[in-house]
Amino acid sequence: MTCESSVAGKRIIVTGAGRGIGRAVALHLVNQGARVLANDLDMDSLESLEAETKTGPGALAIVPGSVADWHSVEGLIATALDRHGGLDGLVNNAGVHYTCPPHKEQPDAIRQLVEVNVTGAIFCGLQVLRVFIDQGYGSLVNVTSGAHLGVSGQATYAASKGAIASLTYSWALDGQSRKVRVNAIAPLARTRMTEALPGFSGTAVNSLGEVELQTPLFTYLLSDAAASINGQVIRFNGRELSLIDHPSVNRLRVTREQWQVSDIHVALNGPLRDAQSAPGLTANLNDKQHQ
């Protein structure tokens, strides 16, 4: 590993570090010499993680608490600054998930998911960006999902991850003049989440990579080697690396001085018909592979 791609000595917060990808990333960063502050609601999983990192070249401290609580996040940031004297990176990973057809959605489940996945990500991102923008450097890595392109039975989760993609685009613009980078990863790995998904049981789950395969991408984006990478959403399954295109306004335009309902019908079923996108993640996957 080159000096530029090293995270040795960097001070990094990882939320949702108790299990899955968050845990794997925290472990990898410590093994690469980083000083990690691990956050999760589950104290038992944090203590297990802490014990596992005792002999690593880096260091790990645990800070339990909810990312959906503004004051809890304030305490997390304050602990990072007090303990390490600064902050270099955030892995904005904490999240929850469920699948449910739209006609069976329940308000309590919706509220919990949005509070953690969206509000929690915003609270963590905003408070860390204050530090980064003030000091003139820092790397924020959001965790989104390819599901934000549309997956049946996961609309609320997909919407929450679409919010993360939008936050990434906007925060990247907000921070770029201060050398603050904001990117997002849409990971696909074998976790408790994928094991619970319809269509991802048995052979399909076994075909997915282990969470540890995701860690080099997180490490790279947190390192100085990624200084030119900003505002990108990167899809990674441990084997294939690709970019998710930003939403954009199609270049094809139909112009009239005044529109009637019939004109709109003609336009959408005529010149704009071929420009319409098929909905869903699978419709957006590109079969072309590059070595």
Instruction: Give residue-wise pLDDT tens across range 108-138.
Output: 999 999 999 999 999 999 999 999 999 999 9
pLDDT value at residue 203: 40
pLDDT above 80 (res 25): yes
pLDDT value at residue 285: 65
pLDDT above 50 (res 12): yes
C-alpha count within 13 angstroms, C-beta hemisphere, residue 184? 27
pLDDT digits (tens, 9 = 90+) for 177-234: 999 999 999 998 645 555 444 554 444 444 455 889 999 999 999 999 999 999 999 9
pLDDT digits (tens, 9 = 90+) for 59-90: 999 999 999 999 999 999 999 999 999 999 99
Q: What are phi and psi of 37, to 5 degrees?
A: -110, 115
On whether the CB atoms of residues 149 and 280 are closer than 8 A, the answer is: yes
On whether the CB atoms of residues 194 and 211 are closer than 8 A, the answer is: no
CA nearest 88: which of 17, 8, 168?
Answer: 8
Chain centroid, CA 49 distance in Å = 21
pLDDT above 70 (res 44): yes
Q: Which residues are catalytic?
A: 157
Q: What is the spatial order of strands in the sheet that 11-15 belongs to?
A: 59-62, 35-39, 11-15, 89-92, 138-143, 180-187, 233-236, 241-243
User: Which pTM was predicted?
Assistant: 0.90
Could you tell me which residue, 174 or 277, shows the higher pLDDT?
174
**CATH superfamily, region 11-243:** NAD(P)-binding Rossmann-like Domain (3.40.50.720)
